[in-house]
Amino acid sequence: MLLTRRAKWQRSALIFCAGSLASFIANLSFTLWATTRPGSNIEGGVGVLAQETSCSTAKNINTGIHVLINVLSTILLAGSNYCMQCLSAPTREQIDEAHRQSRWVDVGVQSIRNLLYITSPGNKLLWVLLSLSSLPLHLFYNSAIFTSISTNEYKVTIVNEGFMALQNRSALPAYLRNDNLEAMHTAAIEGRLDRLDRSACLDAYASNFQSTRGDMLLVTPGFPLPATPPYGKDFRIQRNASFVLQNFACGIRQAYQWMCSQDPEYASICSTPCEDVIPRYKADPDGWTPFGVAAVKECYSLPTEERCKLLFSPTLCWLVTALNLFKGILMLATALRRDTRPILTVGDAVASFMAVPDEWTTDMCLVSKQDVVKSKGLWPREPMRLEFRRRRKFAAASAGRWMTCVLMYVLAIALCIFLFSFGYGHISGSRDLSSLMALGLGTLSSKTIIQSDFFGRGWTNLLANVVMANSPQAIMSMLYFTYNGLFTSISLATEWDSYARHRKGLRVSSAPVGAQRAEYFLQLPYRYSIPLLAISGVLHWLISQSIFLVFVEVYQDSVDESKGAREPAFNYTTCGWSPAGVLSVIAVGIVMVGFLLASGSRKLSSGVMPVAGSCSAGVSAACHAVPYDEMACVEPLRWGATCYEEDEKKGHCSFSSAEVDTPFEGVLYS
């Protein structure tokens, strides 16, 4: 009953409201389950959903969850957009009052102008709240659930073949006796260490996030094992450094920089990254001499389990759930409003003006939107002479609207170029295009970890990095709003102009009657809306692959099985960026601007019908039928000359269900 008694637009709003409430129930159920389940281990604003699983499994689960999140967010955003357009749409009474004061309003498009001048306070408040509630959803929804990257601290111990030949650790010289080395020797004898040749060792350990390998023995040629340190008392047989990513003023130190520690290009930690040198070692393993020792013969490595986790932020989950409920309530309030009968499409406006002609726009049948705007309230009511002129589709919207949209996109592209240049200048080592593209989309590299004041641990850093990673998504949504509005204007102008060439029924938002047709969803033809939605989805995905949250947990494994697996020694949060992703965003942005300008530069077909666009006065002026027929709006209509007085060279043009002629150039029409 709630649906059947409502107007069609209200039923659609209620359906979106139901979708929003279903999303709220899903979000609430998940949040309650995640925060109360055993093993959630909420600490520092982060909880655990799935613990110590393989990284590929965690990634796949995370991808599936985010597909669902994006489906739900799309429903919420589409519903918000639909309700906002309904709230900003004028009623016939508001149009009549505006025309009485020689002012015009927008029909068929979402309009800030209407909000400023005619929209009721209640509608205006709902519109603003729907708009503002979308921003935090963009910022937080996709980061409420995320995966951690696990990496191991490990020790590299230099030994020779004589060490590996010993079968009893009691035979170890005194300088080799320590808990870790004795445990590694025992593990090697028992076969718990993987034996790797030089190439396999390079492949296994040349990783900034080492999740499958732990402590290792670096074996050099030589027999027997010397009884005293072979290089004097200062010889350090064991390297006790923690090989994890570290943040330095000149960049991020790579976890496997020890592999290149004696390379001549490595005079300091700020020189060429090791990843640019490793390929040379792989091509010539004999030249690999880490720590300045003799050429490596082989390695013995401790295998470890991957410990990637699926994590969530309870605070963000509760925030998203609350916003979801708030948005659903706003949609419900929009759908239940009884004091409005909005004119949502140009077809609605034509039907209304054909049924009840507007007295304030008589004798203005050739007035265009441009004429109304230029008149500044003194609408031209004198007969106008028809001039054949095929206008470009730029005329569908004001110059200010075009400049605003294009300028916003140009500034966004310029900002992307600036940020790319800034980041490019901080990339160490090889920076040619092929090397940058080889880093891939959304792939973490020490070259492209963002060093900011938010690099570190704790909830504050997590929240700051979430905002940093998702701010471009919110900006893109605002840009798309203006882009979608312009294409809506272009489609309105194209359909309006087609009535001068073809007879067809009006496209209305209410239940079609007679020859009338149903409106497009959100006012755009599918040939526009589907490609625009697709390219918007691609662009949002590219942005997510261009800058992304990085949550790293560092483990310290022990070769001593009695100690078991350890908890993370510490974690840190930051953001990473992808050169390939940013370049892709720039390229897609340029294509979008080019496509918009190319669409606007196309010419309208008729050359005789005034371009009314979304201007209510221009639409009204074209609807004074002669003779008057209040039921003409349900018949197939065409715009043209409905009468012509040859002696006076004067005529009248309007929509009509009767036969019309193509207007003559040079004739006065009123």
Pick 487 or 518 by higher pLDDT: 487
pLDDT > 90 fraction of the chain, expressed in percent and rounded: 3
Same domain, 62 and 205: no
Helix (H, G, I), strand (E, B) or coil at 177: coil
Pick the last residue of a domain from 606, 627, 650: 606
pLDDT-derived band at 478, boundaries 50, 70, 90: confident
Q: What is the pLDDT of residue 56?
A: 77
Residue from 349, 351, 659 nearest 514 by CA? 351
Q: How far is CA 176 from CA 158, 238, 376, 643, in A?
A: 10, 9, 93, 109
Q: What is the pLDDT of residue 13?
A: 85
pLDDT-derived band at 237, boundaries 50, 70, 90: very low
Q: What is the pLDDT of residue 164?
A: 78
pLDDT digits (tens, 9 = 90+) for 196-216: 888 888 888 887 778 888 888
Same domain, 644 and 666: yes
pLDDT digits (tens, 9 = 90+) for 22-40: 888 988 998 999 888 887 7
Same domain, 579 and 647: no
Q: What is the pLDDT of residue 39?
A: 77
Are 145 and 468 contacting, i.e. CB atoms less than 8 angstroms apart?
A: no
Same domain, 158 and 256: yes
Pick 41 or 590 by higher pLDDT: 590
pLDDT digits (tens, 9 = 90+) for 71-96: 787 778 778 888 888 888 898 888 99
Distance CA 20, CA 670 (A): 50
Average pLDDT over residues 570-579: 81
Are 390 and 408 contacting, i.e. CB atoms less than 8 angstroms apart?
A: no
Range with the poorest average pLDDT among 173-187, 426-440, 579-593: 426-440
Q: What is the pLDDT of residue 297?
A: 84
Same domain, 512 and 612: no
Pick 198 or 56 by higher pLDDT: 198
Contacts of 416 (CB under 8 A, 6+ apart): 582, 585, 586, 589
Say yes or no to pLDDT of 249 above 50.
Answer: no
Sheet order of strands, 213-220 included:
194-197, 298-303, 213-220, 156-160, 238-239
Average pLDDT over residues 535-553: 80
Sheet order of strands, 668-669 included:
384-385, 668-669, 650-656, 638-645
Lookup: tokens for 598: 């190319």
Range with the poorest average pLDDT among 393-397, 417-421, 431-435, 536-540: 431-435
Q: What is the pLDDT of residue 604?
A: 84
Contacts of 117 (CB under 8 A, 6+ apart): 98, 103, 105
Distance CA 548, CA 514 (A): 53
Give the chain's mean pLDDT. 79
Say yes or no to pLDDT of 236 above 70.
Answer: no
Say yes or no to pLDDT of 247 above 70.
Answer: no
Average pLDDT over residues 176-189: 78
The number of CA neighbours under 13 Å toward the Cβ of 288 is: 29
Question: pTM for the complete prediction?
Answer: 0.79
Same domain, 439 and 488: yes
Across 113-127, 178-192, 262-276, which has the greatest mean pLDDT? 113-127
Same domain, 601 and 641: no
Say yes or no to pLDDT of 374 above 70.
Answer: yes
Lookup: tokens for 454: 């938010």
Same domain, 214 and 242: yes
Backbone angles phi, psi at 220, to 5 degrees: -110, 160
Q: What is the pLDDT of residue 224?
A: 66
Q: What is the pLDDT of residue 263?
A: 53
Domain range enclosing 360? 345-389+608-670
pLDDT digits (tens, 9 = 90+) for 268-320: 445 566 777 778 888 887 778 777 766 788 888 888 888 888 888 888 899 98
Q: What is the pLDDT of residue 55?
A: 76
Average pLDDT over residues 171-175: 69
DSSP state of 231: T
pLDDT-derived band at 522, boundaries 50, 70, 90: low
- Identify the H or E element spanning 573: strand 570-577
Same domain, 228 and 239: yes
Distance CA 265, CA 326 (A): 58
Q: What is the pLDDT of residue 8?
A: 78
pLDDT-derived band at 233, boundaries 50, 70, 90: very low
Say yes or no to pLDDT of 360 above 70.
Answer: yes
Across 56-65, 261-270, 304-313, which has the greatest mean pLDDT? 304-313
Pick 226 or 515 by higher pLDDT: 515
Total number of domains in the chain = 4
Sheet order of strands, 145-147 included:
47-53, 308-312, 145-147
Q: What is the pLDDT of residue 623?
A: 87
pLDDT-derived band at 235, boundaries 50, 70, 90: very low
Average pLDDT over residues 631-648: 79
Average pLDDT over residues 618-636: 81
Residue from 268, 253, 270, 264 nearest 292 by CA? 264
Same domain, 335 and 291: no
Are 323 and 133 contacting, i.e. CB atoms less than 8 angstroms apart?
A: yes
Helix (H, G, I), strand (E, B) or coil at 141: helix
Helix (H, G, I), strand (E, B) or coil at 219: strand
- Identify the H or E element spanning 145: strand 145-147
pLDDT-derived band at 651, boundaries 50, 70, 90: confident
DSSP state of 303: E
Q: What is the CA radius of gyration of the chain?
A: 35
End-to-end CA distance of the chain: 48
Average pLDDT over residues 392-410: 86
Same domain, 337 and 357: no
Same domain, 419 and 284: no
Distance CA 202, CA 285 (A): 9
Are 100 and 361 contacting, i.e. CB atoms less than 8 angstroms apart?
A: no
Pick 363 or 270 by higher pLDDT: 363
Helix 579-601 with 399-425: angle, nearest 10 deg: 160
Q: What is the pLDDT of residue 653?
A: 85
pLDDT digits (tens, 9 = 90+) for 322-353: 999 999 999 999 888 776 678 888 888 988 89
Say yes or no to pLDDT of 625 above 60.
Answer: yes
